[in-house]
Structure 1
């Protein structure tokens, strides 16, 4: 039954995460752009830039920072900064698409072994692009402060425990330091028997709220939700990267430039939309 519930958490998280990943946004645009420039591996690396932001955010939400993020001032600040950054990123992408180096372009569009080698070479640029596209997207923060936070809360309801990690870990730390650590320094069968037969039960019933002992299952639930969400991101954006990389081999140099230029324009339009929503929220609501 427990494994069934964990499987249900994974499927639920994967499905909800996929619904967010399928929504067009800056990350999709930079994934397409990176796949055009460096092949499918460039698009996959973009997702890792996204995960660099997402992993610490999930941990922070689990520890109760969701209410701080879901405030009007934070939303407006992220919208303003994100709009300006997307304008700059889009302008740079559009500019570089119009002035490519001929040798690099031919190498990118070629299906030869040289092109394969180029696609496999490592570059930090796709990771950085994914990080920027994620950080500057206000809807990413809003999604996690609402839908994502609800998913994490569901994990706690899943084990019927109050979510309070500090109390959970503090209780286990107190138990270890008070009763169990002496056994590590002075191993003794008599001391071991005395602690577990007399002192430990009394200590636990007086000092430990058993509700928090089930929080270990909540932490597992959070982990399953995170894995399910990451899997949806990786599955979708890897599929996009492979599709773009396959189609890229059929593109001429001019079409390649046009597609990359369009990616830059889309980023610029998203930046303008964010800035307009900052200036007049009623226009975008």
Structure 2
């Protein structure tokens, strides 16, 4: 039992190190929290977890190697980069709208942002898969659940904290500070997308 708890703690710390790295999900967590308040963070994580649950299922079915082999990462990166650019452009438009985002919107955005990030697939195809199988070796299904509990707890802890801090300085008024912050965050999404797109197109050209 102690070994399982230690494995869950290890999974939490490894997951936390990844969650704390700047990325598209962090950017969207800040922007949604400014507009909707603290609940945006947990809702985005819910969408993120749903996406990861699907990926975990695929890996257990033996498809994990596809995520890190051949041109797959580059293709995923190209598609993801395009989606992030699109979401960033929409963000510029939405900066003029101070209406709350629907409850289901943040869950869907959490899933879309996760799948749009090519490093999401690379991490799960390598680190995530290794930890999953380690958990299975350690204690079967209980070990796998320990890994998932630790990993998902790290996401929920970090993004809930980010959401809480962002919502405390919320720019909910229809004024200039709100619009400036939303435009900056949208620009970051576009920059992430352009970076992923360029790197992925370089990789694809290497296969031709």
TM score, norm. by length of structure 1: 0.67
Answering whether residue 149 of structure 2 is matched by residue 151 of structure 1, we say no
Runs of 4+ aligned residues of structure 1 deviating over 4 Å after TM superposition are 249-252
Over residues 220-279 of structure 1, what are the superposed CA-to-partner deviations in whole Å (9 max), with x where a residue is unaligned?
Answer: 100110011000000000000000001116988211111111111001001100111022
Q: 1:36, 1:248 within 8 Å by CA — same for their partners in 2?
A: yes
Indicate the structure (1 or 2) with the bigger Cα radius of gyration: 1
Answering whether residue 11 of structure 2 is matched by residue 50 of structure 1, we say no
TM score, norm. by length of structure 2: 0.91
Q: Which residue of 2 aligns with 1:33?
A: 31
Q: 2:135, 2:146 within 8 Å by CA — same for their partners in 1?
A: no
Q: Which residue of 2 aligns with 1:100?
A: 97
Q: Which residue of 2 aligns with 1:186?
A: none
- Aligned mates of 2:97, 2:134 — CA distance in 1: 49
Structure 2 counterpart of 1:137, from 108, 117, 121: 117
Provide the secondary structure at the position in 1 that maps to 2:22.
coil
Provide the secondary structure at the position in 1 that maps to 2:21.
coil
Q: Which residue of 2 aligns with 1:220?
A: 142
- Aligned mates of 1:74, 1:228 — CA distance in 2: 28
Provide the secondary structure at the position in 2 that maps to 1:24.
coil
- Aligned mates of 1:280, 1:142 — CA distance in 2: 17
Aligned pairs, number: 204
- Aligned mates of 1:27, 1:20 — CA distance in 2: 11
- Aligned mates of 1:272, 1:50 — CA distance in 2: 22
Provide the secondary structure at the position in 2 that maps to 1:40.
coil
Q: 1:240 to 1:90 in 2, by over 3 A?
A: same
Cα deviation for residue 37 of structure 1 reads: 1.1
Unaligned stretches of 5+ residues in structure 2: none
